[in-house]
Amino acid sequence: MWREQAPLADEYRLITADLPAHGALAGERFRLEHAVDRVASVIDWAAGGRALVVGFSLGGYVAMELAARSPERVAGLVLCGASSEPWTVLASPLRIAARLLLAMDEGVPMPWAATMAGRAALGRRLQPAAPNAAHRVRIDAGGQALLDIAGRRFRPRLRSYPGPTLLVNGARDRLMRRHELAFLGECRNGRLVVVPNARHLANLDAPELFNRHLRRFAASIPW
């Protein structure tokens, strides 16, 4: 999921964490509260208690919940492909999509949460994955996640976070950027970037541009 962000390791320590029901935690059921606890524990254990938190899609909603609950852990917040409010008109379609996902057997790529911690921090640098490398997880993880977040309100979470926030959306991601201006309006110190010609996974569709925006934002926040 984050293989194209490996070049950022020349300046930052990059930490990726499997959410419940994903990757090494595939045996656990996804619950938003448990996912937030997981990311918080990773920040405490691996990043000294404070990090720039980057969340993509599902990871973005986890990151918003974390920022609202534990703002002291979040030096800055980057939300990618997570600018639609599930509780509005999306709630019913999300539940339908979740049921379809739960009925399927094969895995598909799913977003995870990531953190960037500490300028030039210690630790093994990430190695770029082989070209076309596939990272796949159980499909029912997506169904569990959709069912858990459908009907929740995330803009109040974003409103309660006092730190700097960057919203990044692919220009062609019509569904998950549909409320981006409303989300931007909730940020106390926010900025919106729309990546041209990119779809939902803008970090993979336009990695150089995505990384440039991420570096610029990381350099601007108080660590």
- What is the C-alpha to C-alpha distance for residues 62 and 186, in angstroms, rounded to an integer? 17
pLDDT tens-digit profile of 95-135? 555 555 544 433 444 333 344 443 322 223 334 434 444 44
* Domain range for 28: 3-220
Residue 183 pairs with which residues in a beta bridge? none
Q: The domain spanning residue 10 has which CATH number?
A: 3.40.50.1820
Identity of the residue numbered 25:
L
pTM value surpassing 0.75: yes
How big is the CA angle at 201 (ends 198 and 205), to the nearest 5 degrees?
45
The count of domains in the chain is 1
pLDDT tens-digit profile of 129-187? 344 444 443 455 666 677 777 778 899 999 999 999 999 999 999 888 989 999 999 99
Q: Edge to edge, what strands does the sheet with 113-119 contain?
A: 12-17, 113-119, 51-56, 74-80, 164-170, 189-195
